[in-house]
Amino acid sequence: MAHAQALTEADKDRFYLTEDHHPENGTLLGFWIYLMSDCLIFAVLFACYAVLGRNYAAGPSGADLFDLPIVAVNTALLLFSSITYGFAMISAQAKKVKPTLAWLAVTGLLGLGFLSLELYEFNHLIHEGAGPQRSAFLSSFFVLVGTHGLHVTFGCIWLVTLMVQVAKRGLGVEMKRRLMCLSMFWHFLDVIWIGVFSFVYLLGVLK
Amino acid sequence: MSAASHDAHEAHDDHGHGHEDGGAHGTLKDYVIGFVLAVILTAIPFWLVMADVLPSHQMTALAVMGLAVIQVLVHMIYFLHMNSRSEGGWTMLALVFTLVVVVITLSGSLWVMHNLDTHMMAPMPHDMREVP
C-alpha cells in the first residue's frame, strides 16, 4: 500500500504539468477558436476580393463609387462602439448592473448606426446600377462587406439578448462569461473592419 | 499528506477560478490607450488618401497597409487582451496557426491567380497579326 502510494506520488511529481493550467472552463478558449475559424472565412473573402477587385467588366471602379466620408463615419462608429463595450465590461467587472446596461445600450445604438449607414450605402450603390451582379469587383465587394455587416447584425441581436439577461439575472459568473464572449466577438469585428476600410475602401479609391 | 495536497488543489482551483472568472479583462487605462492609438492610426490613412499627401500612389498604399497592420496589433493587445499567457498559451497557439493559414491562403491565391492571368492573357492585337 505504502509502495503504491509512493508510486503515485512519484507519478504526480513526474506529470505535474498535466495538472497545472488545464482549462477549468474552456468556453473562452473555444470561443476564441470559433473566432479564428471566422477569421479564415474573412481571409478567403479578402483573397477573393484581392483576385477579383480589378475586374470591373467596363463598369464603375472603387474610385467612382466609394464615398470616403461615409466610410470614415462608419469606422468612427465602430471604433466608438468598441470602447463603449470596453466600458460595459469594466462596469460588469465592478458588478454595477445599470452602468453595464447603459454602456451596452450605447454600444448597440452605435452598431445600429453603423448598419444603417452601410445599408444606405448598399442601397445607393444598387440604385446607381452598381449592384453585386454588375461586375466581379462588385460581387466580391458586396460579399466581403456584406458578410461583415451580417456579423455586426448578429452581434447586435446577441447584445440585446444579453441586455435582457443582465436586466433579469444580474451579473453572475456565467453572465460575465457571456459578456466576455460577446466582447471578443465585437472587438474581432472591429479588427476585420480595419482590413475592410484599409484594403477595400482606401486602396480602392487610390486605384 | 492528503490534507496538504487537498489544500494545494483547493488553492489551485481558487486561483484557476479567479482567473477564469475575470478572463483576460482590461483596465480603463488599457481601453483608453487602445482607443487613442486606434483613432490616430485610423485618422492617418484616411488623411493620406483623402488629402493625397504622398508623392506616389504606391507609397500611399504601402503606408495604408502598414498602418492597418499596426492597428490590428493595437486592437489585439488593448481590446482583445492577447498575451502569450492566457489559457496557458493556447489562444496564442490558435492565433499563430490561423495566421499561418491566412498568409498561405492570401499569398497563394494571389500568386496562383496572377500566374493564371499572365499565362491565359487574351492575345494582343500585335500577336494576332502573326497568326496565319
Q: Categorise residue B116: left if φ over 0, alpha if ψ from -120 to 50, beta otherwise.
A: alpha
Which triple of cell numbers denotes residue B105? 491562403
Structural domain boundaries in chain A: 27-206
d(CA B87, CA B53): 44
- Cβ atoms of A45 and A140 within 8 Å: the answer is yes
Pick the CATH number of A27-206 from 1.20.120.80, 3.40.50.970, 3.60.15.10, 3.30.1490.190: 1.20.120.80
Closest partner residue to A89 among B25, B75, B110, by Cβ?
A: B25
Residues of A within 8 A of B57 (CB-CB) are: 206-207
Q: Is this complex scored with an ipTM above 0.85?
A: no
Residue A91 — φ and ψ, nearest 5°?
A: -65, -40
pLDDT tens-digit readout, A100-151: 999 999 999 999 999 999 999 999 999 999 999 999 999 999 999 999 999 9
Report pLDDT for B87: 75
Q: State percent of chain A over pLDDT 70.
A: 87
Counting DSSP H helices and E strands in chain A, the numbers are 9, 0
Count other C-beta atoms under 10 Å from residue A184's C-beta: 21
- Cβ atoms of A46 and A199 within 8 Å: the answer is yes
- Cβ atoms of A100 and A88 within 8 Å: the answer is yes
Is A199 in Cβ contact with B79 (below 8 Å)? no
pLDDT tens-digit readout, B61-91: 999 999 999 999 999 999 988 888 877 788 8
Structural domain boundaries in chain B: 20-82, 85-132
* Whether pLDDT at A97 is above 70: yes
